[in-house]
Every structure is written in C-alpha cells, then in structure tokens.
Chain A
Amino acid sequence: MRLELKGLTKKFGSFTADDDIDLVVEPGQIHAVLGENGAGKSTLMNMLYGILTPTSGEILIDGEPVSFSGPGDAIAAGIGMVHQHFKLVGPFSVADNVQLGREHTQRLGVLSAKAARKAVLDVSEEYGLKLDPDAICEDLPVGVQQRVEIVKALSGPKTELLILDEPTAVLTPAEITELLQIMRNLADAGTSILFISHKLKEVQAVADTVTVIRRGKVVAELEPTASEAEMASAMVGRAVTLQVDKTPAEPGEARLEVTGLTVVSDAGVKVLNGLDLTVHSGEIVGLAGVEGNGQTELARSILGLVKPDSGRIAIDGEDVHGASPAARIAAGLGYIPEDRGRDGVVAEFSVAENIVLNQYRDAPFAKRGAVNAGAVRKRAADSIAEFDIRTQSPEEPVSALSGGNAQKVIIAREFSRPRRFLVAAQPTRGVDVGASQFIHSRLVAERDTGTAVLLISSELDEIYALADRIAVIYNGQIVGEVAPDTPREVIGRLMVGGGIHDGAAAASPEEPGAPEPPAAEEAPEPPAADETSNDEDANGGDR
C-alpha cells in the first residue's frame, strides 16, 4: 500500500496540533516519524486511524482519497494500529483477543474457538511471529503482548499498513531487538510500516526514511544514515527562535543539592539511578534530555510526591527527607508541573481559587478556618493584571481558559509568594509564542532576584535561551554538565547516551576548540540493529 498525506491539518480551537503535514509511505517501507511528546505525532496517527477528523488536507491510499469516520473504516481500508498502551483484554486468551471485534462464529452466532485459533496460527506462521493462541494475555511478558497486538492488527481483512505508536517504550532491550527484526521481516513481506518514536537509535536501526515533526510541522526529511546529533537537533529545534535578554548569572550558595538520588518504579525499573545535581541561588540550570529519562521523577521527588529509594535531597542545606510537599512549599519551593491539566490546575475551580490553591490556608486568605473571599479576589485581580491573564473574570473556571493563560495562572500562583527555589517543568508546553516569551522573561527575572531555578525542558531552544548551566539527563543519571554555549550536537549526543566528545569533530566543524582529544572507546557511527540493543543493555536502558 502506498499512503500519502497531503497538507493534513488538525486544529483544536485556536491551537494547531498538526499543520500542513505532507508525508508518503511507499509499499514495503518503514517510515519513521520522529518528534518529541506533544509534537503532534499522536494527533497525526489518530487522524490516520479515523479517531480524529482532519480540519483540512487529505489522506490518499494508493492514489485514492479516503475519509475515515472511525477506526472501523481505517481497518477496512487496510490500516492496522498498535497502540502505545496495549488494548488487550487481560483475562482473555490470545486467540480471543485477536478475534475481538470480528469474532469467528459458526451457525447461530456460536463462537468458533477452532477457527479463532487457526486464524492466529496462520498469521503467526505467515509473518514468523511465534504465539500460543491459548495463552492468557495478562500472563504474557510485555513483549509477547505486543506481538499479540501486532498479530491482531495484521489479522484485519487486508492489512497492508501498520502503525506502531512508540512500540519500544515499554520493552526490554532484548524485546526491542526482536521487535525491530519483526518490523524488518514485515516490511520485506510487503507491509508498509509507520513507526512513531523518539528514540534515535531504533529509528536509525530500522527505518528506511525519517520524517521529523516539531510543534505540528514537518521540519525535516532525513535518511536513516543521518547522525543522531542531526536527528536530535531537528527534533528539539534547530532555529534559535527564542531570544531572552539576560545578564550573566551570579550564582550564590547552593539551594538544591541532590546526591545519589535513586527511585525504583513499581515495575522495578531504576527511573533515577544515583542522580547528582546542584542548583545555586541566582542561576538557571537547564535539565536537557529526551523525555522519559527520569525528569518527571526528579521533579516529583523534589516536591516530595515521590519517595526516593535512596539518596539525599537538600534544600537550603537541609535534608528534606520526610518533609511533606506542603512543608516544602511553605519553605519556599515553587513548582510548575509538567502536566498542567493533571497536576497544575483544578480545571473546575475558578481562576481565583487556582491562584491560591497552595496558599488557601495561609493569611490573609484564611481567617479562623474560613476562606477570606475578599483577600482571594484581591490577589486574583492583582495577579490577573500583573501576569496578563486573559480571563473574563476571576470567577471564570480555568477550564474556559487557553493553555497559555492556564499556565499563567500557575506562574502567578508560584510567583506571588515568597520562594527560594523553583522547579519549572516544561513551562511553555502547549503555550503560544507570546505567553512563552512572557514566561521566559519572568523566569529570568526570578533568577535575578536570587532564586535558584531548575528548568526541565525537552525543548533545547528553551534550554539554550534560559540556562546558565546545562545538565543532561539520560537513563536517570546526569551524563554531563556543560556550559550554555556548548554546541547543540554535543548536547544532542549526550541526550541519547553518547559521550561528550565522540563524533564531535565530524558533526560540528564550528565547535570551539574541543579541549580533549576525542575518546575512541565508542564507535561514532550508528551501529546496526543488534549492536543497538547491546548498547542499550550496557546503559541499563529499559525505558
């Protein structure tokens, strides 16, 4: 199947999730779509799979324009999708899961277990995907569950295009190797594959061609031979569109000291692995890294919502072990969470209520157990004016505001109380350019008052614009701390687990005199599929 997208655009209100996307998947080709979370990949796939309707533009299959009103149409047209989060019925057998929605029946609608089992065996034989049709899905390892999803997608009436949405996110390195091999086999057998990912090594290992999406736009069409650094910088932004006026930092005493921080997830994975980081007063430390490398857990550990398994967090020289989030907030910790809708605001609450969400019990907002509505309203009115929050009234629910204005509500909340240390995670995600600039200048002004700022961002542009020092996180560890004028390629390489120096000379001729001769332990060029997995293994990479 040849799939072509022409000028595909999706708008949600005034927000454009996908803007004029052109893309062609040739028959039997593995086409990787690379982009950060929130770049518009999922929206694109949902349009392809009939879950969302495009605002404009068209989808062509073998040259014929098609329009889908639901996943059923997409399946009928030959598109199969493997979702990032599996859609399996746990207690059902493999065969039952595969036939779900198109059950094999005999007369009178009685299910035919035999036909279902045969169907699974046929598909697994045809594509070399080993599966036991009678196994219960929830008992299977994650990698095998994914294979069930793939077989399910391939069992459609005439599936010729497979969409894999971040398929490696939940797999172990060995399972990743296996999956990449399966993808290769499928493509060789003529199935087209659209491979959504933000892991560069996998893309290099398996893709035939790469499209990079950023902020809803196609920013680059690359060959898989392109270097990781090239891909990374395309993904996180090459053009310096953000300019913030700032003077050199004047770092003071250490405000945040993190030593040996280790957090083990429920699944037993070390999401933070002995992380060390120090942030001084009067400086902005930018934490760069591909998402999912432990940034979220670090931020939540600092706030106290995640209990570290080992290691120490000290704020203002004092170990905060055991202190509640409320105590840390009261002690001057400002916190801008990365997931605004989930952690940042109570959408049903008014702007005013959200502005005092973490101070509602403090004077002057509380008086003998009652909320002092007058004081709350006054603070809200002041904040709305100071932070230019576009709202009809302080009583308007935050759910009625745009993303940028909702973010300003959070900024207003955190910046309207005494603070000594600020964690700002993805402070401008989903925020329009104007609001972004405003937020950036406020962060710099914040630094200049002596607050220590930890900026966590997946946008390298943002890091470059604001940071006085850049720390790169990879696999739950800080793999490098560099100056803010370090070339993009170097940081891009660190972000994907490479060393500071390998390949530097080749990738960036303009790099200001590399201080050390390149360390030659690691091959600078992208390794083949098998080596990729070994590499990940060595890094304990299981994300």
Chain B
Amino acid sequence: MSTTDTQAPAADQPEAAEEKPNFMRLFGRYLTEANSVMVTIYSLLLAFLIGAILLIVSDEYVRSTYTYFFARPQDALTASWYLVRDSYIALFEGAILNLNMLDRFAAGNAEFGDLLRPLSETLTYATPLIFTGLAVGLAFRAGLFNIGAQGQMIFGMLGALIIGFGLSLPAVIHLPLAIIAGAIAGAAFGAVPGLLKATTGAHEVISSIMLNNIAALFLVWAIGTDFLHSETKTDLITKPVDETAVMPKLLSGLSESLRVNWALPLGILAAVFTWWLLSRSTFGFRIRAVGFNEHASATAGMRIGSTYTTTMAVAGGLAGLAGAALSLGVGSAGLTTNTALEYGFDGITVALLGRANPGGIVAAALLFGALKAGALSAQPDVPVDISTLLQAIIVLFIAAPALVKAILHLRTPRGGLVTLEAKGW
C-alpha cells in the first residue's frame, strides 16, 4: 500500500513530465499502471490486507481490546499488530521456512531435511494444482470453460488405482502404466462435455458441472465395491497400490518425512508440454484460432467440433494426471472420498490467476500450495479458512482488474485492462 500511496501522485503529474523518460520514471509509471503484472501484485497485497482485517475482526481477544479503543487505543493496535504478524509468520513458517527449525539447524540440533519440510509440503499440495490448473487453462485457450477438472481428476485417480493394485509388474513398467491409465481415464471423462458441445451444442459449463457430481458420487460408490474396497479395513478406503506403482519420493535421501514426490517434476514437464502444445504445435494453433474466432477458423477449414472434443480430452488427461499423482503418491496407502479434496475446483482459480499461461499456472499453483500448507500447519492458532479466504480474495481482484484500478487509482494501460474470459460467460 505504501508503494502505491507514494506513487499515486506521479500519475497525476502534467504531461510535461513525460518528455524525459528515464528509467526510474518509466518504472514508476509501470508501477502505477493497471497492467496485468501490477494488477496481480496489487491483488496479492490487497488480499493480505483484507485478510489481516478479517483476522482482527474474527479474533475474540483482539476484538475485546477494541471495546475500550478510545480509552487505550495502543492496546487494540498492539494486539492487532501482533495477531496479524504472528498469523502471517505462522503461514510463512508452515509454507516456506520454519524459523525455529532454522535456529535449531544452526545449533546443530536438526537435519537439513527438517528444514525443507515446509517447502516439501507446499510442493506436495501444489503438484495436483499444476495439473488441474493446466487442465482448465488449456481449455480456456480454446474458448472453453472446463469446470469439470474435479471429475476428470477423480476418474484419473480411479484409473491409476486400478492399474496400481490390479497388475503385478516391475516398477519400470508398472508406474508409467498406472500414470498413463490415470491420464486416459481423465481424458475419456473430459472428452464427454467436449463431445456433447460439438454434437448437440450443450454448454460445457453445465455438462461439466453435472459430470463433477456424477464423478464424486461414482467415487463414493466405487470405493465401497468389493473390487476396490480395502480387504483389511472397514471404513471407506480402497486397497493400497502395489509398491511397484508408488510414486517415489523426490528427497527421500534427505529425510523420509519429505512427502514431495516425482509427480512434481512430472507436473513441470506437463506445463512445458502444454506450453509447447499451445504456442508451437499445429494443434495449439488450431486451439487458439478456434478460441479467438470460431467463425474465421471454420472458414479456414478447421473443424470446430473436433477441436472442442480433442481439447477437452487433452485437458481431461491433464486433470487425470493430477488424479494419478494422488493415487500413486499421498493416497497410495488407499484412497478415501477425501483424497481428491477440491484440487479440481482450485484448478479453476489457479488457471485464472495464472492467466491461462502454463508458466503463470505453475507459479499460481505454488502460491496456492503454499497457502494450503501454511494454513494446515498453522492451525489451530490461525483459522484454517484464512487460506481459502486469501485465495478467494486474490482471484476476485484478478478477475476484476477494474476494481484494483479503482481502489488504487491506477492508470489504464495502453490497450486497456486485461480480463480473462471464456466465451459466453
């Protein structure tokens, strides 16, 4: 906020100031402009500011200090400051670096691996989000709003699980096969809304929302069947996948407690693949052309319907990989109805935050992973909902750049505000 306050007057300076652009002035102009980079940064800052206010309002003790605010304002202000500071430090420690652990490590009382634990958690939560974010982002570029990543991911989970425990193979074949099975299951489920749109014109938002429900309920039923249900446990949990199909941990050499596994590099690979697909391949050319202008694309001989179906299948495959990462990674001891969390839905916000660019999606997934890991480790001192809340506020601002522009009195950039939108919504 302080940055913007000092920069705001610069925006109002007369045009004469523009005559001699030096680096600092150009940089200042950039800071006060509602371009997509600055809107993203300001959205984050504003979200943490609003998060702070909500932390203060929701804390009973701090609230009580406000009852005598006019008698002793310093009580309320210090209490607020410490609450906000401690909460955000707790999030930071849970997500990136535990400062206590750093002290102990410096004193020789902790392993290097312990130091990496928060980061490992962040990356673990970020991994499925990379895949689901890509699944939504790719479809976005074809002008499709893929709400169905959750369902596609669930089918990916089941596909990977079935190969994971159903076959006995050496690890070099078993693991890749299980991953591919997850991708295929997700792709098949993802192709459905695309096919419905191509053949009947049914809107993919409606059909993919409904397919999410179908997938979630199918999962509950499937876990209970004899085929999938655990032979040793009575609660709703599936059989574990074979050792040969478990995603190996990435940093097991440092510490067994570091959960981050090889799904993360797979996710980065998927992001690189998606980038290549979109910006270099002929198929990506078609996706982008159809996404921008389906009429001109059809006139140029592109088949619109098959583009929709194929794009949704590839998107579903990416979401299916998220499911495979869960089945063969954190959920390898057995899937429950909880394993999927809301990674598919969060993928929508990740894709929005990343502006449907693979690089941006990876960055957004890391941010959301960090918020999740931080919130889970900081509870119960910090309400766990604060992470969800921050995510929501960030996306709200990103989706409404005009709001950020108005709040901070930013200038309109050349070419106008950039709003991400899917066709028809």
Contact = CB atoms under 8 A, between A and B. Distances in A.
A392 to B, nearest CB: 14
A358 B280 contact: no
A482 interface: no
Interface stretch (A72-80, A169-177, A346-354, A486-494): A346-354
A357 B289 contact: yes
Contact of B298 (A325, A327, A345, A353): A325
B281 interface: yes
Contacts of B289: 346, 349, 353, 357
A151 to B, nearest CB: 33
B59 to A, nearest CB: 42
Contacts of A343: 295-296, 298-299
Contact of A342 (B282, B288, B295, B302): B295
A329 B301 contact: yes
B292 interface: yes
Contacts of B302: 326
A349 to B, nearest CB: 7
A56 to B, nearest CB: 26
A326 B303 CA distance: 8
Interface residues on A, range: 20 to 34
A303 interface: yes
Interface in A306-356: 324-330, 335, 337, 339, 342-349, 353
Interface residues of B, number: 21
B283 interface: yes
A335 B299 contact: yes
Interface stretch (A19-27, A259-267, A366-374): A366-374
Contact of A357 (B284, B300, B303): B300
A305 interface: yes
Contacts of A347: 292-293
A344 B280 CA distance: 23
A342 B296 contact: yes
B296 A371 contact: no
Nearest to A356: B285
A326 B289 CA distance: 15
A361 interface: yes
B301 A326 contact: yes
> Which of B281, B284, B301 has the most chain A CB within a 10 Å cutoff?
B301
A337 B288 contact: no
A349 B280 contact: no
A360 interface: yes
Given A346-B292, A349-B288, A357-B289, A303 B281 contact: no
Contacts of B255: none
B281 A370 contact: yes
B337 interface: no
A360 B282 contact: yes
B296 A370 contact: no
B379 interface: no
A161 B286 CA distance: 50
A344 B303 contact: no
B301 A324 contact: yes
B283 A358 contact: no
A298 B417 CA distance: 40
Contacts of B280: 370-371, 373
B282 A361 contact: yes
A370 B286 CA distance: 12
A342 B295 CA distance: 6
The 9 closest A-B pairs by CB, nearest first: A326-B301, A358-B300, A343-B299, A357-B300, A325-B301, A346-B293, A348-B292, A329-B301, A346-B292
25 contacts: A305-B299, A325-B298, A325-B299, A326-B301, A326-B302, A327-B301, A329-B301, A330-B301, A337-B299, A342-B293, A343-B295, A343-B298, A349-B288, A349-B289, A349-B292, A353-B289, A357-B289, A357-B296, A358-B300, A361-B282, A369-B282, A369-B283, A370-B280, A371-B284, A371-B285
Given A371-B285, A373-B280, 17 more contacts: A324-B303, A325-B298, A325-B299, A326-B301, A326-B302, A326-B303, A327-B301, A337-B299, A339-B295, A343-B295, A345-B296, A346-B289, A346-B296, A347-B293, A357-B297, A360-B282, A371-B281
